[in-house]
Structure 1
Amino acid sequence: MLLAFAEAGSRLHVTMAVAPKSWGWRGRTLSGRVESTDGPAWLRLVHTRVDSANAKLWDGPRAAEDAMPPVVPRPRLRQSRTWTESADSYLAELYDLVPEPTVSTESPILRHRPELSDAWWTSLRSALDTVAAVPTDRVAVRQAYLDRAMPQFLGEAIDTTVPGWSAAHGDLHWANLTRPTLTILDWEGWGLAPAGFDAAMLHTYSLLVPDVSARVRQHLAHVLNTPPGRFAELVVITQLLQTNSRGDNLELAGLLRQRAAELLGEQSRCRGG
């Protein structure tokens, strides 16, 4: 990846900056600050096998650049290059530099209470509402996955029928949001998901900090405090319980099951069960 990162810089005609690089999940991506003819920029390199190069995660950023309204705060994609070496494919993307730090610099899970202004929350709500209205045929969450995974992790009696679908960022956690000004990073997985999916994900990744999870519920109540929003929470909980089974996000495990029990209890009461 380090050699390919240098190759990416050559193909995009940028100069590497003397600064730490950022590794993505399991080394799939490598990113860092560079200098271009238009000033400072951010270079992101993605690696995959040749037979997966046309998958959803490969073309998401370009599709987002084409589809998302300018009012959605995100780093603009300037240019990209792809190439292959034997069985490996690489995608190099050059973005506008976002100088502000992410809310969580360690992981998607929030562990400390950040200082976020009312304007930040207003911007987040507006951005998510705008994204949800974007028409797309991309898919972030599939009904077939829900039919298989939700009964496995939430119980066989669960109704897996999605109340409604809308476009979502698809990976809206605290390491993909900046502060003190909001920018939403990493658009590779965006597409259709159960309505309220982004709000539900942010809430679920906030469970270790009750003050913040309460603020998520307060500012995104118009999405979360609805039947589709509660269903979306169950979807996100299912996904994270699945990661628990692989040894990831274990500090959330107890809170995930507690929140799932609360939501399933609400569903049962609404049905008169």
Structure 2
Amino acid sequence: GTNPNDATSFRARLFTAAANGMISRSLDAANYLLGSQVRLTAIPASGYAFIAWSGQASGRENPLVVTMDGHKTIGASFKLAGDDFVTALPLNGSIVTASASNVGMSKEPGEPNHGGNPGGKSIWWRWTAPGSGPVTVTTAGSSFNTLLAIYTGPTVSNLTQIASDNNSGGTSNRSIVQFTATAGTTYNIAVDGYDGASSRILLSLTQGTRFRPQLRSLPRLGDGRMQFVVTGQPSHTYIVEGTENFVTWAVLGQVATGADGTVVFVDSTAVGLATRFYRVRE
């Protein structure tokens, strides 16, 4: 034990605490000589990820070597894997499908709104493009109203949006984005619930196939014109056709998508029509 009359006999104690995980130590002892080094390893419980050290330690280095220069209290923080940007779930390959749940997830300080909605229960994936070319990401098959966004950038508060969507995929539970990936670039994929909704998520990513143009309707304009969003290959020209009977299709014009692969088409010839159907082709 410690001799109060002998400073060299002082023994430092190390107290550790963690929820949803544990902290292992090497050397594991009741107390330590001053100057001793202890290696701490944060081990998350199943489904959780290590976030950071707390107490008399900080940062995310794991394992962490601590020098015992006095009594210390150190904690480890764990959160659901994918809840925070730094614990994004990995995606690998050019054709990937992942299933997860955003129940219990949260929105971080500085995190952007995905798909133009505040959301509140986002989950993150991280994918590094194995090659250059078109990519389609969709939440088709999810069981609730999803928001979807793709970013590049190093931190949650310093992101560049590449693409985003809220239900342009044809149903209330299907968001879809298309973009052109650059080989070796890491893309951060966020899925959130509209107005904070949460449930099961199905995420699919496909690279290497040519974009199929898709249409998303917009509210009819007050003067009777119809409008919709064309989503396709970035900086590409498409032909828009319309019909009232599915027998005769008329060319209504051409549209050129922007760098994000989208463009709004307004049909001025639809004024006075009760219904018109559209398709887009190259």
Question: Which band: TM-score by shorter chain?
Answer: under 0.3
More strand by share: 2
Q: Computing the radius of gyration over CA atoms, which structure comes out larger, 1 or 2?
A: 2
As a proportion of its length, which structure holds more helix?
1
Normalized against structure 2, the TM-score is what? 0.24
Structure ranking higher on relative contact order (CA contacts 8 Å, 6+ apart): 1
